[in-house]
Structures are given as structure tokens and as C-alpha cells.
A and B are shown apart, each in its own frame.
Chain A
Amino acid sequence: MSDTITFTIDGVEIQGRRGQTILEAADDAGVYIPRLCAFKDLSPYGACRVCTVMANGRPQAACTQPIAEGMVVENDTEQLKKVRRDIVEMLFVEGNHFCMFCEKSGNCELQAMAYRLGIAAPKYPYLNPKREVDASHPDILVDHNRCILCARCVRASKDLDGKNVFQFIGRGPHKKVGVNAEANLSDTNADVTDKALDVCPVGALLRKRVGYAVPVGKRLYDLEPIGSDIEAKRAGQEK
């Protein structure tokens, strides 16, 4: 049995390897599927649903759904773009996202996703929840106002750092990232070199005293939309 699997995304034939998810195979082929909770070094989680595609006519999270021979995937359609816009808009109104003074602005994946999807203002009413800031750690800041519950830090701390510093607590609207201590992050073994800090897509987990180092205009998503690096791969393959 061959290990190569052939399927299509938006009518384009894609070759992937057995065991890959739709998202992984698409990335390798230079087709960008928007995502917020998926991250290349972390196990698939399927939390944000921004990567929702139609796989053989059913909505599926591309980050968790394995590819299959002859699978027909829809990705860049108006219907799916609307679903993704709605999800990202809900993430914006559900937290307190003040881009104008956030250290992550310009390098933030949530913000970049809104730019790419063409969101000028969310259509939903803002919830303005009361959330905490944990600045107890000498080198790390946790701002729950900006957290989108993607679980990247939870997974990275466990799988990459081998520490288990972060874990979810609560359910529904009360769900939040908790730390593995009685009260504060300073009581955990979290360290400024932890990979968990690198994977946060938003400004919820920040290293202290390094913000605003890159000037406006030179940040990650100032000039090119998020996903451009992946799409550039395809442009290279076609040449």
C-alpha cells in the first residue's frame, strides 16, 4: 500500500502522506488554511474551529481530520470565510482586545487573522468581561483579557517544556487558563526560556521588558497577511 494520498483542496490536486491531517498536508503543499489553535510543534487540539473546512461535504476541523484518498476538501469558499469571520469576531467581543496599546500588536495572530478575513469591526456586541492580570512572575506577564483559550501554552508547557505550568480551569464562560500553583505564576516553575511563551498567538503570555522592540511597519503582519509564507511555498513550486 502506497503511503502517498491524493486528494483535492478547492479542486486542486494535493499529495499528502498517510497519517497527515488536512492542515499538515495543505501546509506542505503551500495551501494556507486559517488557524489559531493549531501550531506546528504541538499536537492537534481542535479548539478554535477557525480551520473548519468542508471535507467530503461535512464541516471538519482541518487540524484534526486525517486526509483520505480522493477526499474533496473545500477551503477558500465564501461560506467558510463567513464561518471563520464569525468565529474571529466572537473571539474579539468575548475578551478585552485593546490592540492600540498591546505589546503583541503587529505580531498577533488573532489580529492578523481579522486583517486577512477583512474584519473592520465585529458585528456582535462587546461583552467587556472582567478578567485578571497576573504580573507576579519577575519575567513573565499573564493577561487573561487577551486569552482566546487556544491551549497552545497548555500543550507546549506539557509536551515541549515537560513542566505542566498551565491548565484549563472552569467551564463555559468561566473557562480560563490556570497556573499549577495555589495562586500566582510566580509560585510555579515557569521560566522566561519556556517554549510555552513563544507559542501564544495573542498578547496573553508575554516576556517582560522586551515589548515594542520592533518598530511599526517592520512587524510580522504589517505588510503581508498571515499565511503568506505558506502560500509563497506554492508559488515557488509552480515556477
Chain B
Amino acid sequence: MAKPKVATTSLAGCFGCHMSLLDIDDRILKLVELIDFDKSPINDIKKFTGRCAVGLIEGGCCNEENVRVLQDFRNHCAILISVGDCATMGGIPALRNNIPLQECYDEAYKNGPSVHNPSGQIPNDPELPLLLDKVFPCHEVVKIDYHLPGCPPPADTLWEALVALLTDKPVDLPYTLIKYD
């Protein structure tokens, strides 16, 4: 039987959660015995090759591309997991949520202390994904099956949860592995 496939992505995140996944150290050898990676920055596969057992989502949704990728993951993955505080609650990008979008643009491209932009233009290329008015946690956009909070979630949290799911055991993590920081 073919190994189950796992896909991962980083939306409005910092790749810290992917770093934490790599932090499982030599257990990554056991992991590749259990699974194949599909679309993921780890193997640089850009498009889904088929159905996946598990999708790991790092980061929340701050722009339209994030939403499309997240919906793509929901369509391809049997189980979708929000990994990290950005995916579960918006995280650092969500600090802009109570500031109007125009003010964010002005600060980033016009008025910021280190900005030099005499023309006062704000980047508006059709290739750039449009920002959403707010940063949304993943479960406010699609159905999410599991949440693993943490900034980042410890490597043990990711390992224990993945192994439990892939071996059909309940995801019942000890107290020390579910933390918000």
C-alpha cells in the first residue's frame, strides 16, 4: 500500500513552524518511512499530485492568495491541521486587525521612519495578491480539524500529533505540549 501523503504550507506565517517540524531531528527518517510529502516547501513541490491524508497549515490568511491556497488544501486533504498561533488565532500579523488597511499601507509605503518613497506610490501590480481587511485565523475561512497552538508548537507536539493521526490513534497530547507561546 502506498504511504499516506502529507502536504504543508506557510500562509501569513514566518516559517518558524516549519523550522519546528524540522526540529524533530533524526525522527524525520522515521517520518519519511511513515509518509510521503506532497505539496510542501520542504520538497518544493508546488502543486498537489493527488489526495493527501494530512495538511499542515502554518500562518493565517492575510491576503486573497492565502485564502485560495487554504481552500486548495481543504479540497485535497482529509485532515487539516492549524499549526501555530498564526493559524489558530492570527498571530503577529493580526496585530494590524484594529488598524484600518489604508493606515497600514501608508505606514508601510509612505510614512514609516525608514521609508524613502518620493512618488508616494503604493505597490499595486496585478501579480501582487490583494490584502484582506483583516488577518483571519484558518478556522474562520475553512473547516479545520485540529489545532496545534504554539509559537512555534514544539517539535514534540508536531511529532506526537502526526504519529497519532497516521497510526489511527487518538490525538491526546500531554499538558506540556499544548502551549500558546
Which B residues are CB-close (under 8 A) to A223? 175-176
A interface residues with partner B (beta carbon < 8 Å): 92, 96-102, 105-106, 111, 114-115, 118, 120-123, 125-126, 128-131, 216, 222-225
Known interface pairs A99-B181, A105-B181, A126-B97. Does A121 touch B137 (Cβ–Cβ under 8 Å)? yes
Closest residue of chain A to B87 (Cβ to Cβ) is A121
A128 CA to B99 CA, complexed, in Å: 10
> Bound complex: CA of A133 vs CA of B124, how far in Å?
34
List the A side residues contacting B180 at CB < 8 Å.
99-100, 105, 111, 114
Enumerate chain B interface residues (CB-CB to A < 8 A): 82, 85, 88-92, 94-95, 97-98, 134, 137, 139-140, 144, 146-149, 151, 175-176, 178-181
For the complex, would chain B's binding face be called helix, strand, loop or mixed by DSSP majority?
A: mixed
Smallest CB separation, B13 vs chain A (Å): 12
Complex Cα–Cα for A101 and B91 (A): 10
Besides A99-B151, A121-B89, 13 new A-B residue pairs in contact (Cβ under 8 A), listed by A number: A98-B91, A98-B95, A99-B85, A99-B181, A105-B181, A118-B178, A120-B149, A123-B139, A125-B140, A126-B137, A222-B179, A223-B176, A225-B175
**CA–CA, A97 and B88, complex, Å:** 12
Chain B residue nearest to A124 (CB atoms) is B140
- Whole-angstrom distance between the alpha carbons of A59 and B146 in the complex? 31
Q: A98-B92, A115-B178, A128-B98 are in contact. Are A120 and B148 (CB under 8 A)?
A: yes
Give bound CA distance, A120 to B81, whole Å.
11
How far apart sit A126 and B93, CA to CA, in the bound complex (Å)? 14
Contact A100 B176 (CB under 8 A): no
- With both beta carbons as reference points, the residue of chain A lying nearest to B152 in the complex is identified as A100
Q: How far is the CB of A106 from chain B (nearest CB, A)?
A: 7
Tell me whether B147 and A120 are in contact (CB under 8 A).
yes
B134 to chain A minimum Cβ distance, whole angstroms, is 7
Chain B residues, CB < 8 A from A97:
89
Does B149 lie within 8 Å of A126, measured CB to CB? no
Q: Which residues of B contact A114 (CB under 8 A)?
A: 180
B94, A128: Cβ atoms closer than 8 Å: yes
Chain B residues positioned under 8 Å from A99 (CB to CB):
85, 151, 180-181
11 A-B residue pairings within 8 Å (CB atoms): A96-B95, A100-B91, A111-B180, A114-B180, A121-B149, A126-B137, A128-B98, A216-B181, A222-B179, A223-B176, A225-B175
Contacts known (A99-B85, A100-B85); A120 close to B178, Cβ less than 8 A: yes
Instruction: Give Cα distance in the complex from A120 to B97, angstroms.
Output: 21
Interchain CB contact under 8 A, A121 and B98: no
Query: In the bound complex, do residue B147 and residue A121 qualify as a contact, i.e. CB atoms below 8 Å apart?
Result: yes
Q: Are A106 and B181 in contact (CB under 8 A)?
A: yes
Report Cα–Cα, A120/B153, bound state, in Å: 12
